[in-house]
Amino acid sequence: MSSIEQSIKEYLPIISMGGLILIVQILALFLSTPMEVSGMQAFEDPTQVSNSIYYIIMILVFTLFVLIAIKKNMKWVISLFIYLAIISTIYYVVLALFTLIPFLSGVESIVSVVLSVGITVLLYKYPEWYVVDIVGVCIAAGVSALIGISLSVVPVIVLLVLLAIYDAISVYKTKHMVSMAEGVMDLKLPIMFVIPKNLNYSFLTEDFKQDEKHEAFFMGLGDAVMPTLLVVSANVFMKSNFYPVLGAILGTLIGHAILSIQVMKGNPQAGLPFLNSGVILGFFAGVLISGASFL
């Protein structure tokens, strides 16, 4: 195998990760319109910065909940909570899609419940990597769209800055995010994307307690969700101005590329400082090019 082919093989999983983030952002943009029309916004006033603080508090409480459950060896509680979250998120995703289909009017709620439960059961029974990734894309896009239509640009930027700082502290200083990731990976839930290093890989047989070297790359769903919030928010609250949206998308991919280069060097990294910085800088570049105001 030539050095070029070897390089392509090494970087292909990383490129695939970038592709998954791009798919999440495109799907979230598509979902945001029917969700907005259906009134799925979480807040009456999306311009309030206090809404961002609310989300930060929710994340901190959930993190504490997971860490306590891991310490007390009660991972079934984590699984139950996440499966319920999966069902509810997929329900809203499917419901939003079905609002675009006129002949399902009146039965979309029932169909959405059946499909969300069915997909969750499939995930529980057969959590192979491609099932986890497909469900993960739907969840990431759904959450991004729901929160993105609920927060205007300024609160989203505040949220992304705070989360980048929190991610850096939790990975490099307290390291509790690393402990949490290691504690829940063996549950094989769609809280991360899985990209195999070879076609023979099976997520079903992966033993996170025994295997020291994994045959796949992993990326938390949050690394796709958080930058996508700004992509969706810019699209919803800066209507008819695509430059900030395009800038945010390109900025995310550039941030991911820089993050990937650091990871490939063998240096574990917190993802959000790179991704959130990229999407924010890309957004502002789009604003400058368009001459628009984001306030």
Q: Within a domain: residue 36?
A: yes
Most confidently predicted of 30-34, 36-40, 268-272: 30-34
Per-residue pLDDT, 68: 86
Helix (H) or strand (E) holding 220: strand 216-220
Report the alpha-carbon distance of residue 194 to residue 188 in Å, rounded: 10
Asked whether residue 24 is assigned to any structural domain, the reply reads yes
Average pLDDT over residues 102-119: 80
Burial class (CB in 10 A: 0-12, 13-18, 19+), 4: exposed
- pLDDT of residue 24 exceeding 90, the answer is yes
- The reply to whether 66 falls in a domain is yes
Residue 41 vs residues 24, 117, 233, 236, 246: alpha-carbon distances, Å: 19, 23, 12, 12, 23
Per-residue confidence (pLDDT) for residue 205, from 0 to 100: 80
Task: Let me know if residue 251 belongs to a domain.
Answer: no
**pLDDT recorded at residue 240:** 65
Q: 58 near 43, Cβ under 8 Å?
A: no
Whether the predicted pLDDT of 4 surpasses 70: no
Q: Which domain holds residue 134?
A: 3-219
Label residue 209 by pLDDT band (50, 70, 90): low
Residue 9 placed within a domain: yes
Per-residue pLDDT, 155? 95
Distance in angstroms (rounded) separating the CA atoms of residues 223 and 195: 14
Tell me: pLDDT of 208 over 70: no
- Mean pLDDT over residues 6-25, rounded? 81
* 47 found inside a domain: yes
Residue range 148-198, pLDDT digits in tens: 999 999 999 999 999 999 888 888 887 777 667 766 777 777 788 888 887
The answer to whether residue 286 is domain-embedded is no
* Count of the separate structural domains present in the chain: 1
Residue 157 lies in a domain: yes
